[in-house]
Amino acid sequence: MIKLKNSKTLLAVMLGTALMSGSALAESTTESAGQKIDSSMNKVGNFMDDSAITAKVKAALVDHDSIKSTDISVKTEKSVVTLSGFVESQSQAEQAVTVAKGVEGVASVSDKLHVRDSKSQSMKGYAGDAATTSEIKAKLLADDVVPSRKVKVETTDGVVQLSGTVESQAQSERAESIAKAIDGVKSVKNDLKVQ
């Protein structure tokens, strides 16, 4: 009888210990799962905040009468707005930056806007830009330093815009110097991102 009573007590102690450790394990698992959910929600929240800021900036640019917003691209990352594309004048670029800075939630604005020549682009100008773009692409392709497949080249009225990704600042600078060395290039806007 005493052996049976001791066995039941021992069994009760073992079960109690197992239940308590299981409860503690469940608490720590729940806590880490909760932290993971909070972390994921923060990431989604930041994405939602950035996309909301982008939408607000686009709407503000459209509402502004003196800004031709159809040629302006808006991207937001961590509340930093990047404006890129073409505007008719430097004052229009400055107005676009001012409008973007005035939108709620914008931490800062990166101005990557180009001023387009005031005269309309002729066929000759277009052909010259296409030839310039082709020549730059060929030079980049022949270069051993720059990963040419990852570099996008656009030319408008002699203004070359480089975009895409490269692996180092040296590659970015090399691509820019190659573009600047081509005849007919007025200026180079280097928008290459270093990964």
Per-residue model confidence as pLDDT tens digits over 175-195:
999 999 988 888 899 999 988
Question: pLDDT tens digit string along 59-81?
Answer: 898 888 888 777 788 999 989 99
All domains of the chain, ordered by start, with CATH? Answer: 49-115 (3.30.1340.30), 123-194 (3.30.1340.30)
127 Cα distance to chain centroid: 32
**What was the pLDDT predicted at 23?**
47
**What was the pLDDT predicted at 170?**
92
Whole-number Å distance between alpha carbons of 134 and 124: 15
Question: pLDDT tens digit string along 76-133?
Answer: 998 999 998 888 888 888 899 999 999 999 999 988 888 776 554 555 566 688 889 9
Rounded to 5 degrees, φ, ψ at 163 are -140, 170
How much of the chain exceeds pLDDT 90, in percent? 30
Whole-number Å distance between alpha carbons of 99 and 91: 12
Average pLDDT over residues 7-17: 56
Sequence-distant (≥ 6) Cβ neighbours of residue 156 within 8 angstroms? 86, 114, 116, 121, 129
Higher pLDDT, 106 or 33: 106
Q: Do 194 and 172 form a contact (C-beta atoms < 8 A)?
A: yes
Greatest Cα pair distance, the chain, in angstroms, is 109
> HSE-up of 137 (CA within 13 Å, CB side)?
13
Select from 151, 85, 157 the least CA-distant residue to 128. Answer: 157
**What was the pLDDT predicted at 114?**
81
